[in-house]
Amino acid sequence: MARVSPEEFPDPINDSALADQPGQSRAVLAGGCFWCVEAVFEELDGVIDAVSGYAGGSKETANYDAVCTGATGHAEAVKIIYDPTKISYEKLLEVHFATHDPTTLTRQGNDTGPQYRSAIFYANDKEKELAQAFIDDLNASKHFSRPVVTTLEPLKAFYPAEAYHQNYACQNPHQPYISHIALPKVAKVREKYKELVKPQSPIPGQ
């Protein structure tokens, strides 16, 4: 599919524009390729939508070609819109840390560069406190064999990625990267968090 220019999307979504709608909250998380992160969170009951995009850099560099250079400050990130009466921010964090490696600074598998960093983009002090406490607990319990290096970064803006990146795993379940990298993460969620997942996976055949 032809790439779509960021100018075809609305202006960047800043914190005021991300104000929660009635019954909705949002979280912006990064943990490697956004195709995988989006696929994971689309599985969860209570998640209304998951949008692939860029966070951490400027509007001018919020496009895939620029972000792939690793020089923009952006991370491939996903904005998760969810119903907090069905799933909590803390539970989203739990699933996030269970489905990527938060102990590698700029690498997830074969994907290398700062655009693939593990990051939590917090919109307010409460999100920052919850995320820091979660990371502190993981480190104190030695849940991972190495320290968690996930960065906590203020959410200044979120830029939706090009149209062809959206719902990528759902639309391309047989694409090799999806079948070898994303789908095992989805399977892990459906096995480990059975009580949290939607009855039917959005990804065909899952």
- Establish whether 33 is a catalytic residue: yes
Q: If one looks up domain 18-181 in CATH, what number appears?
A: 3.30.1060.10
Q: Where are the domains of the chain?
A: 18-181
Which residue of the set 33, 36, 68, 170 is catalytic? 33
Q: How far apart are the C-alpha atoms of 56 and 154, rounded to whole Å? A: 8
Mean pLDDT by 10 residues, the chain (206 residues): 34 43 90 98 97 97 97 98 96 98 95 98 97 98 97 97 96 96 97 96 87
- Contact indicator for 21, 185 with CB cutoff of 8 Å: no
Q: How far apart are the C-alpha atoms of 104 and 149, rounded to whole Å? A: 7
Is-above-0.95 flag for pTM? no
Q: Distances from the Cα of 138 to the Cαs of 63, 84, 122, 204, in angstroms?
A: 33, 23, 18, 34
If you search the block for the tokens 């195709």, which residue do you land on? 35
